[in-house]
Structure 1
Amino acid sequence: MNGKTLLVEIGTEELPPKLLCSSAQLFCDNITTELNKFYLMYKKVVWFASPRRLAVQVIDLQTHQIDRTIQKRGPALKNAFDNKGQITEQTQKWINKNKLILSQVETLYTTKGKWLIFNKKIKSKKIQLLLPLMIEQAIKQISLSKSMRWGNGIIRFIRPIHTVTVLFGKELISCIILGIKSKRIIYGHRFMGESKITLIDADEYLQVILTRGKVIADYNKRKEIIKTGIESLAHKIGGKADITDELLDEVTSLVEWPVILHATFKKEFLNIPHKLLIHIMKKTQRYFPIYDDQGMLLSKFIFVSNIESSDSNQIIIGNEKVLNSRLVDAKFFFDYDRKKRLSNNLKYLNKVIFHKKLGSLRDKTKRITYLSKWIAIQIGANIKYSIRASLLSKCDLITSTVFEFTEMQGIMGMYYARYNGENEEIAFALSQQYKPCFSGDKIPSSLVGCVLSISDKMDTLVGIFGIKQFPKGSKDPLALRRAAFGILRIILERKLPLNLKLLAEKSVHIYKNVLTNKNTVNDILDFMFDRLQQLYLKNGYSLCVFKSVLSIRPLCPIDFDLRIKALSYFLTLQESNELIMSNKRVVHFLTKSNKISVYGDINLSLLKHKEEIELANHISKLTTELKPYIAQGLYKEALIELAKLKEAIDNFFNKVKININDTSVHINRLTLLSKLRFLFIQVADISLLK
């Protein structure tokens, strides 16, 4: 290809670091979509991002669209002309709509018939005419929840846009995008290099903004420089850095010219709970904690500055002062909170509203305690510990530390419980109660933690559904979807013997007369099954397999899981396709018949043909043999046995007529089919498989 490079840069005020990478990727995807939509040829599209810019380069973009022909189909030939050979009204409307003359119309011949068609040639347009619309559309399609307006305009974006640069090779594409006129001007680093740079060539973008503007615009390159620099510096100072993807991405999104530095804090602060200390460093300050070879936290940290300084010590001292001040506050809060027992905060929970229609946090604590006891009995967890953990679960929300550092809820409860001499299993469960907190987060690792997490989440689900405040669209302020996913993941991954209906009913009962929705349990189950469907589809299972199991509505997730896996295995069997089709035929006959209400036992004396006698014997035998398989959840083994029916079923359908005039025989054969269907339906409705 012999095209040119297209550069599009959107210069903005500082973009939110947690949204920078996703916004840049979305911008790139949208540009790619627009290029394909307009039939433009190119080699590849790459994206760049820094705190004050989103940019894409389209490599080897052709100067014109591809010439193409589109085919438009009109009426079928048999409807196009009347008996006299004149065009019909339908044909005339089609001709008028497409502004045709009859000589342009051709006939399309296919195996399914003949149609009138016309082939329209689309002449290519220059890239310069298409780019403004494409770019503006690509920017508008960056759907962000936190968009804003600025000045007197009506344009919305995540941050005010100041500059737009569109270069096609060395040519400036003159246009106005989102109210901003395109120019060759790009801006460098705020404090280093050239502030304002005139860009001559789109191919020179990365090099010019690097050497003259002191900006590393390539996000991934900047990220790798930061990661490698931190690892190297940590090794140099005798430790290993705590580098998480989340923190690394956020720091990469905060700087344009990363400078890696290390500093220290006072050793006395190592007496603060380490999770609190690390939270302050990582979440509040965006620092990287350092550990020694034994995994012990050191009083050292690494941070990334956005500027080169002739006196880096001043930057280090400044960051040390900030962190030490934060740690002084944290130590004060922690020491203050330790002066009273965690359980003393129970009485203060009455003053904190959980929901105006559902009572206080003290009310929620009481409900969780009752529900936890029931769950602990069901799954074999320590009942005493589960009740105690539930009673203490919300007490740390009253503490000064959690008030200041809200993300430490649960975790601080664990530390305070330990200082109060509570059993370690109880204390640890407090730190696990909110897990999983996000997609991909770990589930509680202790059984008491599972009890507490499930009871807390189910209480919230039942309460909110019970007052008919269902999540709608993207609005889910109490994270009910996350709660449902959490419950399902815990049950499935820990293989807990919990029945969703009984769990919801128990929670509803504990609420007593507070709830107004009489259909709460069914609403909860529908909501949970929707989430369960998403889990299985995400894990690669087909929708028809899920629906086949859902049709019989197993209420225990682990039982549901066994059926899903058994059915997926069944589809690998050679006999599966024929058995699926046979089940579809069975359903067809049973659905079509209006005599279902008279089905009972098979009348052996009415069996006339060898094939139906043979099938009846197989059904009778399997009805007994499958009982222990179904009772033990051995659905895979049950389906393997059912697969052996293939030949008997085929013979029956090939030799035996179902719909006959003899009503008794007809009903008896339908009864035979109903018994056959029952054998399969004990595992799943395989007639729904494709």
Structure 2
Amino acid sequence: MRTENLLIELGTEELPPKSLKSLGQAFATQFESALLGADLQFDTVSWFAAPRRLAVYVSQLAEGQADKIVEKRGPAVSAAFDSEGAPTKAAMGWARGNGIAVEDAERLVTDKGEWLLHKAHVPGQSVTALLESLLNQAISKLPIPKPMRWGSYTTQFIRPVHTLTVLYGSEVVNLTALGMTSGRTLQGHRFHGEARFELDHADNYATALEAQYVVADFQARKDNVRQQLEDAASNLSLTPDYNEDLLEEIASLVEWPVVMQASFEKGFLDVPKEALIYTMKDDQKYVPLLDSNGYLSNQFLFVSNIESQDPSQVISGNEKVIRPRLADAEFFFNSDKKTTLASRLDSLDSVLFQKQLGTLKEKSTRISSLSGFIAKQIGADETLAERAGLLAKTDLMTHMVMEFPDVQGVMGKYYALNDGEDTSVADALYEQYLPRFAGDTLPQPGVSAAVALADKLDTLVGIFGIGQLPKGDKDPFALRRAAIGVLRIISELSLPLDLQTLVSKAGEVYGDKLSNKEYKQQVVDFVLGRFVALLQDQGVAIDVIQAVSARRPTEPADYLARIKAVASFKQLDEAEALAAANKRVANILAKQGDLVSGQSVNESLLTEPAEQALFSALKPAESVVENAVKTQDYSQILTTLATLRNDIDNFFDNVMVMSDDEATKINRLALLSLLRQLFLTTADVSLLTKA
């Protein structure tokens, strides 16, 4: 069967830059799904996306479906003929529906009986006949939250569509979609290219557009922008400050990227660099430049969509655009410094944190109290922690943060230093929001960690305390992020803090505002649940996590220490046998546990050499475990218990636990209970699977 390459392009007005990549990927995914559903053979499906176009390219697409033989089973032979062998109405109706006579039907014989059968030959449809339906099917499933109408069209799309190009090789496939009739017309670059031109062959799509100053391949355009930025910055011995999100947004704004260099007055550098960077990147999509010490340069880069014959005019225009924004930041900064953060505290009473939980001022008071409590637990300065907690949200009332919300915390630090606050207080105002995302840095141990924990715990306990638990993907107060932040701070900084204690203290600070009586356990379980996900993301085996989680340790640092110890234990030669033995012991005790409740081992009742040997080995192990628990040295505990393998194996090989003598049986169960409890000081190793 003949194959050709297929090109479909929707030529539009400028598409939303933040959605461009996802639209391009979705278009390819949905169209591929439609092709598969139609049983059309092809090699690969790739996508193109530029500000004024979405396209899919299908390589080696078959010219049609393969013919099929469809088996249509009829009534059972016993019901298809009467006693005289004449066809029944059921048989004749079925045959008529299939366009055959009853006598032309084949027979299908199975172990359950015999049926009439017709093997119908169904010819495949051509790709040209199918494409309109498949294209419209794919378009209807694109992620478009707010479709729009345009002109006199009744169809809807994310932006007005002006051209529809559908080429199967060099052949135009005639179809209609989004109110447009297909052709071979494409849009060139808005300024450099032809308004309309014709494409001769699907294979020439990318090269034909490039001749019209359009880089249609999203990834190629993104890479082009990246390389130009790096080269331009390197020429200045500076480093471009951008992330992948900004790079993708810039690539979604231009069809023919041209990187240019501009500058602003050095006097603006007196403003905190974070505010300047925010307005350059978020408002203007410019790329700031940093020197080797991380200081902001007054030079910056921007990406133009035109190759100007007079670049100085384009550069001058962009410098004029950025200047008022930087001037605003400068004005806000100088104005804000005239009022101390402490004097803004009362203004927080005018901002609601949450209707049932009170204002931001009330939250600040709670954070202050909880920060002091945590600081005392971890050996930090309690007074400074309380001060930082009290001022934590005051920068939200400054002009700078109101204008540029993303610099909250950052500006708090600058203003606190300007007010003469202690440096640890100033650092805490910024670091209270850390970590902000996966892999982000943590607050410094001490005052900053105390305030960061207090802020997150206050939100967690408050929202759970009024029964507004996150459901599905709805998490308006970012409780999952707060929980992960709490875990990372405590565990990675090895802070001696217990979640139950912290949650109880946070609830106590709320007073009578909390209506959900179950919040304490719910919050602890929620946070520990995030620990499971966090550890899985780090590559920890699920059975190791389950073994530790079964003990429900509520000190994150302790939890992590157990995880590391169990992961190491699992690699030992003895681990598999000991896990099996623990499982066996757990099953025995589950059935007989009531008999040994409160019982200790009576050495005089140990008559078998194997049980005497196990008890003799357990006594020194018990002492090691007792001392190691105090220092959370779980590796030593499990290493010590691993030496018991031979004694445990001998016990089960030579001792009948369920002795006819009741006292002997209870004593042996008590011995197993002692063994089990020693292992459970670290984890339930019976849940471990083979390494």
- TM-score using structure 2 length: 0.86
Letter in 1 for 2:629: I
The answer (yes or no) to whether the contact 2:284–2:322 under 8 Å persists in 1 is yes
Other structure's SS at 1:683 match: coil
The answer (yes or no) to whether the contact 1:147–1:159 under 8 Å persists in 2 is no
1:85 equivalent in structure 2? none
Deviates more, 1:158-167 or 1:260-269: 158-167
Taking a change above 3 Å as real, the CA distance of residues 360 and 125 of structure 1, as seen in their structure-2 partners, is same
CA distance in 1, matches of 2:530, 2:240: 37
* Superposed CA offset, 1:181-203 (max 9, x none): 55434333333312233333221
Query: 1:661 deviation in Å?
Result: 3.8
* Superposed CA offset, 1:114-150 (max 9, x none): xxxx9x9998765556655655555555557x44454
CA RMSD, Structure 1 to Structure 2 (Å): 3.4
Deviates more, 1:241-250 or 1:146-155: 146-155
CA distance in 2, matches of 1:46, 1:318: 38
The answer (yes or no) to whether the contact 1:17–1:51 under 8 Å persists in 2 is yes
2:380 equivalent in structure 1? 381
Query: 1:63 deviation in Å?
Result: 4.4
CA distance in 2, matches of 1:69, 1:494: 67
CA distance in 2, matches of 1:632, 1:433: 30
The answer (yes or no) to whether the contact 2:445–2:493 under 8 Å persists in 1 is no
CA distance in 2, matches of 1:125, 1:608: 84
Other structure's SS at 1:521 match: helix
Query: 1:237 deviation in Å?
Result: 5.0
Does residue 251 of structure 1 match 2:246? no
CA distance in 2, matches of 1:361, 1:136: 51
The answer (yes or no) to whether the contact 2:596–2:666 under 8 Å persists in 1 is no
User: Unaligned regions of 5+ residues in structure 1, if any?
Assistant: 72-98, 109-117
Other structure's SS at 1:593 match: helix
* Superposed CA offset, 1:151-202 (max 9, x none): 6999886556665544332344445556765543433333331223333322
CA distance in 2, matches of 1:363, 1:302: 44
Letter in 2 for 1:523: Q
Query: 1:288 deviation in Å?
Result: 1.6
Letter in 2 for 1:430: L
* Superposed CA offset, 1:597-636 (max 9, x none): 6451123333343222222222333222211222222212
Deviates more, 1:454-463 or 1:315-324: 315-324
User: Unaligned regions of 5+ residues in structure 2, if any?
Assistant: 72-97, 99-104
CA distance in 1, matches of 2:452, 2:489: 9
Taking a change above 3 Å as real, the CA distance of residues 629 and 182 of structure 1, as seen in their structure-2 partners, is farther
Taking a change above 3 Å as real, the CA distance of residues 141 and 682 of structure 1, as seen in their structure-2 partners, is farther
1:195 equivalent in structure 2? 195
CA distance in 1, matches of 2:372, 2:279: 35
CA distance in 2, matches of 1:571, 1:10: 56
Query: 1:343 deviation in Å?
Result: 1.1
The answer (yes or no) to whether the contact 1:239–1:291 under 8 Å persists in 2 is yes
The answer (yes or no) to whether the contact 2:165–2:184 under 8 Å persists in 1 is yes
**Count of matched residue positions in the alignment of Structure 1 and Structure 2:** 655
2:24 equivalent in structure 1? 24
Deviates more, 1:472-481 or 1:601-610: 601-610
CA distance in 2, matches of 1:191, 1:473: 47
Taking a change above 3 Å as real, the CA distance of residues 543 and 199 of structure 1, as seen in their structure-2 partners, is same
1:221 equivalent in structure 2? 220
Letter in 2 for 1:207: T
Taking a change above 3 Å as real, the CA distance of residues 324 and 571 of structure 1, as seen in their structure-2 partners, is same
Query: 1:204 deviation in Å?
Result: 1.0
Deviates more, 1:259-268 or 1:400-409: 259-268
2:483 equivalent in structure 1? 484
CA distance in 2, matches of 1:544, 1:448: 36
Does residue 689 of structure 1 match 2:688? yes
The answer (yes or no) to whether the contact 1:12–1:161 under 8 Å persists in 2 is yes
Taking a change above 3 Å as real, the CA distance of residues 320 and 131 of structure 1, as seen in their structure-2 partners, is same
Other structure's SS at 1:630 match: helix
- Counting only pairs closer than 5 Å after superposition, residues 307-456 of structure 1 correspond to structure 2 as 307-445=306-444, 447-456=446-455
- Counting only pairs closer than 5 Å after superposition, residues 612-623 of structure 1 correspond to structure 2 as 612-623=611-622
The answer (yes or no) to whether the contact 1:429–1:446 under 8 Å persists in 2 is no
Query: 1:345 deviation in Å?
Result: 0.4
- TM-score using structure 1 length: 0.86
The answer (yes or no) to whether the contact 2:199–2:205 under 8 Å persists in 1 is yes
* Superposed CA offset, 1:226-252 (max 9, x none): 222223333445644334333222211
Taking a change above 3 Å as real, the CA distance of residues 187 and 220 of structure 1, as seen in their structure-2 partners, is same
The answer (yes or no) to whether the contact 2:68–2:121 under 8 Å persists in 1 is yes
Query: 1:441 deviation in Å?
Result: 2.4
CA distance in 2, matches of 1:168, 1:390: 66
Query: 1:33 deviation in Å?
Result: 5.3
The answer (yes or no) to whether the contact 1:10–1:163 under 8 Å persists in 2 is yes
CA distance in 1, matches of 2:411, 2:16: 29
Taking a change above 3 Å as real, the CA distance of residues 439 and 24 of structure 1, as seen in their structure-2 partners, is farther
- Counting only pairs closer than 5 Å after superposition, residues 51-130 of structure 1 correspond to structure 2 as 51-63=51-63, 104=108, 127-128=127-128
CA distance in 2, matches of 1:178, 1:614: 83
Other structure's SS at 2:247 match: helix
Q: Which has the larger radius of gyration?
A: 2
CA distance in 2, matches of 1:155, 1:542: 51
Query: 1:397 deviation in Å?
Result: 0.8
The answer (yes or no) to whether the contact 2:589–2:673 under 8 Å persists in 1 is yes
1:287 equivalent in structure 2? 286
1:88 equivalent in structure 2? none
CA distance in 1, matches of 2:364, 2:65: 65
CA distance in 2, matches of 1:64, 1:634: 68
Query: 1:469 deviation in Å?
Result: 1.1
Does residue 206 of structure 1 match 2:194? no
- Counting only pairs closer than 5 Å after superposition, residues 557-596 of structure 1 correspond to structure 2 as 557-593=556-592, 595-596=594-595
Other structure's SS at 2:19 match: helix
* Superposed CA offset, 1:28-69 (max 9, x none): 445555656666654444332212333332333444668999
CA distance in 1, matches of 2:195, 2:480: 47
Other structure's SS at 1:472 match: coil
Letter in 1 for 2:190: R
Query: 1:472 deviation in Å?
Result: 1.4
Report the identity percentage. 42
CA distance in 2, matches of 1:594, 1:270: 72
CA distance in 1, matches of 2:664, 2:38: 66
Taking a change above 3 Å as real, the CA distance of residues 336 and 256 of structure 1, as seen in their structure-2 partners, is same
Does residue 5 of structure 1 match 2:5? yes
Other structure's SS at 1:257 match: coil
CA distance in 1, matches of 2:380, 2:159: 51
1:262 equivalent in structure 2? 261
2:518 equivalent in structure 1? 519
CA distance in 2, matches of 1:661, 1:137: 74
The answer (yes or no) to whether the contact 2:230–2:239 under 8 Å persists in 1 is yes
The answer (yes or no) to whether the contact 2:2–2:63 under 8 Å persists in 1 is no
Taking a change above 3 Å as real, the CA distance of residues 242 and 515 of structure 1, as seen in their structure-2 partners, is same
CA distance in 2, matches of 1:660, 1:676: 19
Other structure's SS at 2:624 match: helix
- Counting only pairs closer than 5 Å after superposition, residues 546-565 of structure 1 correspond to structure 2 as 546-565=545-564
CA distance in 2, matches of 1:674, 1:103: 68
